Chain A
Amino acid sequence: MPAVSKGDGMRGLAVFISDIRNCKSKEAEIKRINKELANIRSKFKGDKALDGYSKKKYVCKLLFIFLLGHDIDFGHMEAVNLLSSNKYTEKQIGYLFISVLVNSNSELIRLINNAIKNDLSSRNPTFMCLALHCIANVGSREMAEAFAGEIPRILVAGDTMDSVKQSAALCLLRLYKTSPDLVLMGEWTSRVVHLLNDQHMGVVTAAISLITCLSQKNPDEFKTCVSLAVSRLSRDYTYYFVPAPWLSCKLLRLLQCYPPPEDGAVKGRLVECLETILNKAQEPPKSKKVQHSNAKNAILFEAISLIIHYDSEPNLLVRACNQLGQFLQHRETNLRYLALESMCTLASSEFSHEAVKTHIETVINALKTERDVSVRQRAADLLYAMCDRSNAKQIVAEMLSYLETADYSIREEMVLKVAILAEKYAVDYSWYVDTILNLIRIAGDYVSEEVWYRVIQIVINRDDVQGYAAKTVFEALQAPACHENMVKVGGYILGEFGNLIAGDPRSSPLVQFNLLHSKFHLCSVPTRALLLSAYIKFINLFPETKSTIQEVLRSDSQIRNSDVELQQRAVEYLKLSSIASTDVLATVLEEMPPFPERESSILAKLKKKKGPGAVSVNELEEGKREGGELNGGGERGADNSNMAASNASTPSPSADLLGLRAGPPVNAAAPSAGSLLVDVFSEAGANDDGFLRDLEPPTESSDSLLAEGPGDSDSAPPSVVSEDPAAPLPESNELLNKFVCKNNGVLFENQLLQIGIKSEYRQNLGRMYLFYGNKTSVQFLTFTTTVTCPGELQSHILFMCTFKKLNVQAKPVEPLIEGGAQVQQVINIECLGDFCDAPLLNIKFRYGGALQNFSLKLPVTINKFFQPTEMASNDFFQRWKQLSQPQQEAQKIFKASHGMDTEVIKAKLLGLGMALLENVDPNPENFVCAGVIQTKAQQVGSLLRLEPNSQAQMYRLTVRSSKDTVSQRLCELLAEQF
């Protein structure tokens, strides 16, 4: 055969390729290519019709040019022409060009589809395969539309050749992945499952891929494949002495779509198979070739995945773990890598967690000695996964010591992991503080904002660790060179808790101050700003330092600093320290109140890094870039919090920045000044990573802080929590939809507040009970709620809201919800006419001084005022016909977003409030309902018909009612329910 290989090519093409290869420079190459393009263009445009061979050759040259990385904007038509050639080689090149170059050029697609259609019906297996390949390669929606019906027929037809079946199965899989809605289940589906029994190995192998994908989406329809797959597992061919590795792996993968088989016999056989696979791993290799061991171990790892997936056979799990343990010491790097990776999943199973832990020493050793960074990374991942209370100290210590020499590419992730483990398994917080300070010492550059914010949050929230933290950070700062992050933490903690160690003459106030100030000149502007805030806090903590600090603030390098932020702070702090009385100073500069508990921002950051241990060069870069951008914003947040103190007393241009527009006057600043800080801080902290957004009470400040550019405080927009009612939350529509078919439940929940709802309706009247639960341990102050009806609604519904709160019956004007308490509010509703928009509920309160302000939609929808109407089939159709004006009907066809379970659908329709009529629709699959909407002004009769199509996973919904707006609204509401 080799002789054939070069002889059948195209000579002109070979010459062109070698010309290109002989080009000495990029310019020469481009010149040669342009010459060739001009030549081809003129040939294509010429009057003389090209013969098939030339056409093929030029198309092939164009393809080559394209693959070199140049744009090709012609030749598509010629390629399409080649498709209809009856010479195999011409057709083949045509298809190759189309597969590589055509995405979905709409005019061409029709021509291409035509050619494909001809080839599919040609009964020539080679042509059919070419056509199927082309469909799979392009895989566009237009192609799916054209062929999704045809391919299943080819796949299961009795007279289709095996090679065509193989292609058809994979082609169908491709179409199913791009356009699942177009591949309709049908009679062929059951026959596809039986391809598992096919004699032809290639057909089975190709079909399993298709069946696996279909089973993931429709497990019930393909359930029978489990027993077929199990019986197939134990047969068939060998690849380097391993029985059918591809087939076996795919079968094991297919089984992972299902729970363990219920049938005892099937399960017994499967367990036997799995045991055989585990046993075989212990046998001596039958060949020294790496292919043999790869194929054998591929099956083994797939079997272990299945065992982990079942997570129900303790014996197998432990055996799997032991097997992986052996691999941990294998001389093949690949196996060590895979064993570490696989053990990560095993570590989360309760049966095998302990068994995994016994390998801790090996894994630690891998972390220290592996030559390959990707293996070391898997080892770090596994250590992270196997960590629990019992071994946390050891693992954290090992990771810390590894950090000193770790590869730059994984340091940031390692830092995050250490920080998380230290926090999660901290028994005593002094250990936690030590660990984080060590982190900063060892890998300061990789310690992101999240990490050092977090240590400060924790120190502030736990008074048992504050003295220790102050002492340790003081000691850490003694080092001649310490990382800037250490200075930040030091400045913050000493500014808050320096007094706790001031009794010791070695750390007297002045010593502390001098120590901090000795770092000042080495630091960047944001850190200097933070230090200035620490200094003003010192003046409050230690009056004896006042003159020294004032002198520093007064010096030209501060008060005339070219950086506006630093200058402003120096001026304001100096002024504050000289005019404010000690009392005022003490209140303004009070100790920070505790932070609200929230998910650790570090954890969120790690989660964001895709998957455990997914680190790549560019992702890290991305992370850094992000870190860099947010850096400014984040720090600003952090020390703006300190800054707020000064602004509270000296309104300045930057006051708006800090959310004080509506802030309290100077004297009353005490409680809120301090706590406002918390909020600015935590908002900034959260924005810093940006993924806590869903956990955040969505105040406006979070948005504007985010939008604020780092550095230019003057031009930054005000970040104020507005006192005006906030616009409804983005999710409020979704929340509203949850209550269309039910009357009770939890309307809303975030970190702070839960709102439950109970409602009842009679005729055109309704009564709703709202329950506001405070989830924190802190009071909500000035809790107010207002209900408004947007626009047209106002004229129709009358709301009579009475505020009834649990603890404040005597003074309803001073609403306050104690931590952990719940208050109830009654809302009476009367429907005067039909309406679309739901009323808005605005909620405002102060939590830790920060104003929370958000709005929800109250789940009052038109269908709540339905009265069910029972009627017989005749009546129904008569009325249906009466409502035949076009605008009286609204119709929607939509995809099922939940399972299409009949009982669930019935329950939802009943919840809607209409009567569900049995035996009315001639098709028993369909649902019809009838009801009358009661408003004060009029009654609106409505009829509904819902037609599910379970094959297509679609519904058609038709609503007719005497009022067009009602039909529309009902249709909209209901389309979201199924």
Chain B
Amino acid sequence: MMHFLLLFSRQGKLRLQKWFLPLPERERKKIVKDMTTMVLARKPRTCNFLHWKDLKIVYKRYASLYFCCGLESQDNELLALEILHRYVELLDKYFGNVCELDIIFNFEKAYFILDEFLMGGEIQETSKQSVAKSIEASDMLQETMEEYMSKPAF
């Protein structure tokens, strides 16, 4: 089971945090700090895995963003890498050439996409088509462009 998933930039700015276990705020902050320092200190072309306390840390860099997750000791590291990749694929498909800014400005979408895909730290839906389809379906329920433009800007 995945304990957490963090997205942070090369400068160590946290862009998305998902916790699959209830942890006190202080502990979360400590994990974020440890992960960013550890992962950002890694040289290029090193492996994607680390040990941290009882957890296996799996991370991968996509452009300017690091995707980093903490796994339990019996979880499969390679598969976790593919979970990260699947998530990137889904974001990419949704935003079209996803970049860091998309995630900053549409953080709630990034959460929704993640929720379609993972639940309670376990993978819920492995089919890219199914996830994309349900995100599309929920977008049909959103406002239209005209509605959007007619809204006040503050």
- Residues of A whose CB lies within 8 Å of any CB of B are 1-2, 4-12, 14-18, 21, 53, 60, 63-64, 67, 69, 87-89, 92-93, 96, 100, 103, 126, 132-133, 136, 138-140, 163, 166-167, 170-171, 173-174, 177, 201-202, 205-206, 209, 237, 239, 244-247, 249, 253, 256, 291, 294-295, 297-298, 301-302, 333-334, 336-338, 371-375, 377, 610-611, 613-619
In the complex, are the beta carbons of B126 and A136 less than 8 A apart? no
A–B pairs, 30, beta carbons within 8 Å: A1-B96, A5-B94, A5-B96, A7-B148, A9-B109, A11-B151, A11-B152, A12-B153, A12-B154, A17-B104, A17-B105, A53-B151, A92-B138, A126-B138, A133-B115, A163-B130, A202-B125, A205-B123, A205-B126, A239-B82, A244-B126, A291-B85, A298-B79, A334-B47, A338-B77, A372-B43, A610-B53, A614-B54, A616-B34, A616-B38
Residues of A contacting B38 in the complex (Cβ-Cβ under 8 angstroms):
616-617
Known A-B contacts A14-B105, A163-B134, A333-B46; A7 and B145 likewise in contact (beta carbons under 8 Å): yes
Per the bound structure, the CA–CA distance linking A12 and B153 in Å amounts to 5
**Binary interface encoding of chain B residues 24-60 relative to chain A, with 1 for a CB under 8 A from any of its CBs, else 0:** 0000010000100110000101111111111000000
Per the bound structure, the CA–CA distance linking A166 and B107 in Å amounts to 24
Q: Chain A binding site: helix, strand, loop or mixed by DSSP?
A: helix
Chain B's closest residue to A381 (CB) is B51
In the complex, are the beta carbons of B136 and A1 less than 8 A apart? yes
Residues of A contacting B125 in the complex (Cβ-Cβ under 8 angstroms):
163, 166, 202, 205-206
In the complex, are the beta carbons of A202 and B130 less than 8 A apart? yes
* CB neighbors of A among B44-90 (8 A): 45-54, 73-74, 76-79, 81-82, 85
Nearest CB on B from A186, distance (A): 21
- Residues of B whose CB lies within 8 Å of any CB of A are 1, 14, 17, 21-22, 29, 34, 37-38, 43, 45-54, 73-74, 76-79, 81-82, 85, 93-96, 102, 104-109, 111-112, 115, 119-120, 122-127, 130, 134, 136-139, 141-143, 145, 148, 151-154
Cross-interface CB contact of A239 among B1, B126, B134, cutoff 8 Å: B126
Residues of B contacting A103 in the complex (Cβ-Cβ under 8 angstroms):
22
In the complex, are the beta carbons of B47 and A6 less than 8 A apart? no
Chain A's closest residue to B136 (CB) is A1
In the complex, are the beta carbons of B148 and A136 less than 8 A apart? no
In the complex, are the beta carbons of A167 and B124 less than 8 A apart? yes
Nearest CB on B from A102, distance (A): 10
In the complex, are the beta carbons of A126 and B137 less than 8 A apart? yes
Known A-B contacts A136-B120, A202-B127; A614 and B51 likewise in contact (beta carbons under 8 Å): yes
Cross-interface CB contact of A88 among B105, B141, B153, cutoff 8 Å: B141
In the complex, are the beta carbons of B112 and A92 less than 8 A apart? yes
Known A-B contacts A9-B106, A17-B105, A166-B125; A336 and B85 likewise in contact (beta carbons under 8 Å): no
Per the bound structure, the CA–CA distance linking A372 and B42 in Å amounts to 9
Known A-B contacts A21-B104, A133-B119, A338-B49; A249 and B34 likewise in contact (beta carbons under 8 Å): no
Residues of B contacting A53 in the complex (Cβ-Cβ under 8 angstroms):
151
In the complex, are the beta carbons of A171 and B119 less than 8 A apart? yes
Cross-interface CB contact of B119 among A126, A136, A613, A618, cutoff 8 Å: A136
In the complex, are the beta carbons of A616 and B122 less than 8 A apart? no
Chain A's closest residue to B106 (CB) is A9
Cross-interface CB contact of A206 among B124, B138, B154, cutoff 8 Å: B124
Cross-interface CB contact of A170 among B37, B120, B136, cutoff 8 Å: B120
Cross-interface CB contact of A173 among B17, B78, B106, B120, cutoff 8 Å: B120
Residues of B contacting A138 in the complex (Cβ-Cβ under 8 angstroms):
22
In the complex, are the beta carbons of A1 and B94 less than 8 A apart? yes
Residues of B contacting A88 in the complex (Cβ-Cβ under 8 angstroms):
138, 141-142
Cross-interface CB contact of A60 among B29, B104, B108, B138, cutoff 8 Å: B108
Per the bound structure, the CA–CA distance linking A877 and B153 in Å amounts to 78
Known A-B contacts A1-B93, A616-B38; A166 and B124 likewise in contact (beta carbons under 8 Å): yes
